[in-house]
Amino acid sequence: MASTPEPSRHGPSGGSELLRLSDIALDYGQIVALKDVNLTLYPSRIHALVGEHGAGKSSLGMIISGSLRPRAGTIEFAGRRLESLSIPTAHRLGIEMVYQQVQLNEYYSVAENIFFLDKVTTRHGLLNQRVVTARAQTFLNLNDFNLDPAAVVRNLNLPDRVLISILAALQKRPKLLILDEALEKLSSTNLPKVVRVLDTMRSEGMSILFITHRIEDVYDFADRVSIVKNGEILVTDEVGHIDKMNLLQLTYTQLYSLEDSGNRKREFNQYLKYYEAVLQKLPVNLIVVDAEERAKIVNELCKEYFHIEGVTSSNRPLSALLGEENGEVLALIREALRSDEGGVFYQVPITIDRVETISNVRTLPIFDEGQRIGNIIIIEDISEFDKLQKQVILSEKLASVGLLAAGVAHEINNPLESVYNYLKYIKLSFSDVKLHGMVDELHEEITYIAGIVRNLLSLSGTAETGREETDLNEMIGSIIGLLRHSAHDKDISISFHSDEKEILLKVNRNEIKQVILNLVKNSFEAMPGGGDIRIVTSLTADETGRPCATIEFTDTGPGIQSANLNDVFIPFYSTRKGKGDNVGLGLSICYGIIKQHDGIMRVKNLEHSGCQFSIELPLTLDDAPTP
């Protein structure tokens, strides 16, 4: 498949073309290296070339740098049309290349290699060592590189040699710099410094052709990307327009033909051997399996995710890696592995060490000459995102209900106050004892209605609340003391534990007490045959690092029978329909109270039985304990 030239003569940002390659072809003897390649580069842009080993990336860079002469095709640089380039011509045009193999004079110093072609000489025609060293020192200091300009290159390590090669090219201030897998060889200290210099020079007009096999670098560094496969350019587009997983699939999931195509297992192992270093470092949970579903690669992130020690994952069946508790997930993946298109599954529950996570799962087939010889499995953990999304949805639901509740409460309060005043007038105006009794009964019912209205206002978040300093442990202890007799009658044990002598909070004491009482009441109703309630308080920090008090309320009941546990916080939702006076407002009110206190309330079912409510209440600066 020949790549088609881009019809526009202007770049994505409106600038003119810097370089245009048209129908470039290159052979190495009988081997076709490049086939009708078309590529356009623009000023002040970073263009990445990605592809498999042997795809033709380096050959393309060497043609542009003048190191190779193409068999066919034309080159246009800055409006000048050329059949091919020589190295001297490329230098004159402002094209510099940093090659995969470092090309330095090992017996020269750092300074001499950086300014090798500048010919700074003395009057006798010799290289002026002092001037060159001083220039190099100034250049290195200006860009914050810690290199000795007088050091001999043969005594330096590979990262420093690559750095010198890049600096030697940069000091010539080229119009186009070609980096052939150079950045990945730099030290972690010098890489960000080089990137900073490249960004500065790019802003001043320099273009960069960036040849790499690291997908992450493309997204961190490049503006545009071309995928090279089998000597052809498959796709060229803005980096932001190509999904990372699609780029990975296009680049790495199809093998080029090998001569001995009959031995599929050998080909697959050769593929893995070359690309294992690439796949191991990818920032996704990744498993490569062969046609028999045996793991050939489990990358480092995935080993950490599944808590796999050492290299024991090699050749293990996929079922052993996922574990018997993930049978449903395994069935989904196996169905996708049989498909030539692969598959994508969203919000899949995966259990790891008895903890349920939520992940997106994607499978990508690996082909050779049309035959599937393995698969890549990518697992993206979205547990935190899923939890946050559910929290946002719940908050939006409660906010909507809260607005409705505030309106309803207002509309009920007005006639309720009128009725109350009429009853008061009747009791004062008439002396009939029987009538007084009926008025008292009506007054009691109105008080009950007023309580419901107060609950609705609490749910809406509009109720005024007074706060006072309260010892959380003392308050919970007093509540348990009042409930012990009732719990004993119901054969329920209540235990309370805290590592802190006292936990001081500025809260509305009655409202927090209402939350605890509601949770106890729910547990009593959930365990009619008896059980255990355990309450634990502690001082912790929330997800943002803010100090807070935590209450964990656990019972041994049957748990919450609901597909979405957060539904229990929705008003009028109940898992005990039709039982007594339960109208499903209790937990909604509790949630509203905790939210008014800038806290968080969560619920989860426990593994064997029962459920746990977790409450986080922030400490004010005055409440926070001193270190």
| pLDDT for 3 | 41
CA–CA separation, 518 and 512 (whole Å): 10
Model confidence at 435, pLDDT cuts 50, 70, 90, reads confident
Q: Is residue 602 part of a domain?
A: yes
Give 224's contacts (C-beta < 8 A, 6+ positions apart): 12, 45, 46, 47, 48, 236, 237, 238, 239
C-beta separation of 235 from 55 below 8 A? no
Q: In terms of domains, do 422 and 333 share one?
A: no
Q: In whole angstroms, give the CA distance from residue 625 to residue 627.
A: 6
Q: Which band of pLDDT confidence, cut at 50, 70 and 90, is reported for residue 580?
A: very low
| Residue 7: predicted pLDDT | 38
pLDDT, residue 135, reads 84
624 inside domain:
no
Residue that is last in its domain, among 381, 405, 432: 381
Min mean pLDDT across 54-68, 101-115, 224-238, 435-449 is at 435-449
Residue 627 lies in a domain: no
Q: 332 and 393, same structural domain?
A: no
Note whether 99 and 216 are same-domain residues: yes
Q: Is the CB of residue 98 less than 8 Å from the CB of residue 91?
A: no
pLDDT for 467 equals: 82
Is there a domain that residue 78 lies in?
yes
Whether the predicted pLDDT of 289 surpasses 50: yes
Q: Is residue 89 domain-shared with residue 182, that is, in the same domain?
A: yes
Q: What is the residue whose two structure tokens read 């009794």?
A: 437
Indicate if the pLDDT at residue 151 is higher than 70: yes
- 302 pLDDT higher than 60: yes
Question: Which of 125, 122, 121, 104 is CA-nearest to residue 113?
Answer: 104
- Asked if 505 and 408 sit in the same domain, the reply is no
Q: Looking at the predicted structure, is the pLDDT value of residue 455 above 80? A: no
| Residue 405 structural domain | 386-460
**Which of these three, 335, 366, 381, is where a domain ends?**
381
CATH number of the domain to which 596 belongs: 3.30.565.10
**CATH number of the domain where residue 216 is located:** 3.40.50.300
CATH number of the domain at 288, please.
Answer: 3.30.450.20
The answer to whether position 12 is within a domain reads no
DSSP 3-state percent helix, strand, coil across the chain (nearest 5): 40, 25, 30
Residue in the block written with tokens 């790019």: 202
One domain, residues 445 and 526: no
Instruction: Map residue 442 onto helix, strand or coil.
Output: helix
On whether both 219 and 82 belong to a single domain, the answer is yes
Task: Please give the average per-residue pLDDT across 583-610, as a whole number.
Answer: 78
Q: What is the CATH number of the domain that holds 418?
A: 1.10.287
According to the model, what pLDDT value does residue 274 have? 46
Q: What's the whole-model pTM score?
A: 0.43
- Give the pLDDT band of residue 606 (cuts 50, 70, 90): confident
Q: How many residues does the chain have?
A: 627
224-229 β-sheet, strand order: 95-98, 176-180, 207-212, 46-51, 224-229, 232-238
Buried-state track 366-386, b at ≥16 Cβ within 10 A, e below 16:
bebeeebbbbbbbbebbeeeb
Q: Average pLDDT in the 534-549 region?
A: 87
With respect to residue 154, please indicate whether it lies within any of the assigned structural domains.
yes
The predicted model gives 163-186 an average pLDDT of 89
Predicted confidence (pLDDT) at residue 198 exceeds the cutoff of 50: yes
CA angle (197, 201, 207) in 5-degree steps: 120
pLDDT confidence tier of residue 291, bands split at 50, 70 and 90:
confident
- Quick one: 187 and 51 in the same domain? yes
Q: Which residue has the higher pLDDT, 213 or 93?
A: 93
Q: Does position 513 have pLDDT exceeding 60, yes or no? A: yes
Paired strand residues for 361: 345, 379
Q: Given 199, 217, 252, which residue is the final one in a domain?
A: 252
- Could you give the number of structural domains in the chain? 4
Does residue 496 surpass a pLDDT of 90? yes
Tell me what percent of the residues of the chain surpass a pLDDT of 90.
14
Residue 540 is assigned to a structural domain of this protein: yes
Select the more confidently predicted residue: 435 or 49: 49
**Structure confidence at residue 231 (pLDDT):** 86
**Mean pLDDT, residues 542-565:** 82
Mean pLDDT confidence for 93-122 = 78
Q: Clarify whether residues 27 and 166 are in a common domain.
A: yes
Per the listing, tokens 């001037």 go with 131
Residues 194 and 306 in one domain: no
Residue-wise pLDDT for 53-91, tens only, equals 778 888 899 999 888 888 888 899 988 888 778 888 888
- Whether 361 and 449 map to the same domain: the answer is no
Distance CA 533, CA 447 (A): 32
pLDDT of 311 > 70? The answer is: no
Residue 335 is predicted with a pLDDT of 87
Mean pLDDT to the nearest integer, 382-405:
59
pLDDT of residue 536: 95
Q: Look at residue 584 in the predicted model and tell me its pLDDT.
A: 47
In a domain, 149, yes or no: yes
| Mean pLDDT score across all residues of the chain | 77
Same domain, 59 and 178: yes
